[in-house]
Amino acid sequence: MAETVFNKKRYHLRTDDLLSDLINPALNNIYDVEIKFDTNGNELRNNIQSNITNPRGESLGDRLALFCSEASLPGSNIQTSKVDGLRQGITQNYAVYRRYPPLNLVFFVHQDYFTQEVFTSWLEFINPLQSAYSEKSFKKLRYPNSYKCSIDITSFNRNILRDFDKLRPSNFFTVPTMTDNIVYSIKNAFPISMNSSPLTYGDAEILRTTVSFVYEHYIVSKTK
């Protein structure tokens, strides 16, 4: 009986080899979330900026990126249907729709409640309250293209070159190697809910709010 040959190096890896140039694990704590409020014009961005108590010079997306404490790379699933074969006696499945589950982003709440004001204004922009008289009012939904925008979620990979390797003379005048980054470009997204932030007596913790987004599709790309 022929002896099976195994690659012993594959089954005998040291811990240091897991952080080598051959096997680079992706890390989940280096990322960036950019909400592009001006995807379909400046109406959404201008409306939100007009409702912020203390507007600043930087863009809304750049400042919100600093407070995004948790994010996730979006997924998808295929909805199927089936046909029963009466003569063959088997059931065949085929794809019908591709579904995208909601995207949840968690944001730290700033002392001036910047994040709360942004998403509250966004939801109010989608479904504004129209006051016709002092005692009567009605709600009217805006056209979808006016409140949808793109969101880019980028997962960065840390340069795994160890500190003592960086100090070697051969690395002094070499250009650092740029690792691959994966970018999920989420198209036509808008918030559908903003979870309540609990307040309680006891040890102080940073206030957070979770915002759920729905979207149409996403595009995956890799950059340097």
pLDDT at position 1, please? 47
Q: How confident is the model at residue 87 (pLDDT cuts 50, 70, 90)?
A: confident
Least confident piece of the model among 26-30, 42-46, 123-127, 212-216:
26-30
Structure tokens at 121: 């204004």
The Cα–Cα gap between 69 and 28 comes to 12
Residue 36 in tokens: 């592009």
Closest CA to 31 of 157, 190, 126: 157
Average pLDDT, the chain: 80
Q: Is residue 77 part of a domain?
A: no
How many domains are there within the chain?
1
Band of residue 89 on the pLDDT scale cut at 50, 70, 90: confident
Q: Is residue 2 part of a domain?
A: no
Asked if residue 125 belongs to a domain, the reply is yes
Nearest by Cα to 196 from 212, 175, 176, 182: 212
Averaged pLDDT, 63-74: 89
Residue 193 domain-assigned?
yes
193-207 burial: b if 16+ Cβ within 10 Å, else e? ebeeeeeeeeeeeeb
Look up tokens 């969101």; give the residue.
151
**Per-residue tokens: 144:** 């979808």
13 belongs to a structural domain: no
∠ CA 127-112-64 to the nearest 5 degrees? 65
CATH of the domain at 51: 2.30.110
* Assigned domain for 92 exists: no
In a domain, residue 143? The reply is: yes
Tell me the pLDDT tens digit for each residue of 93-109. 889 999 999 999 999 98
Expressed as residue numbers, the domain containing 106 is 27-72+101-223
The answer to whether residue 86 sits within a structural domain is: no
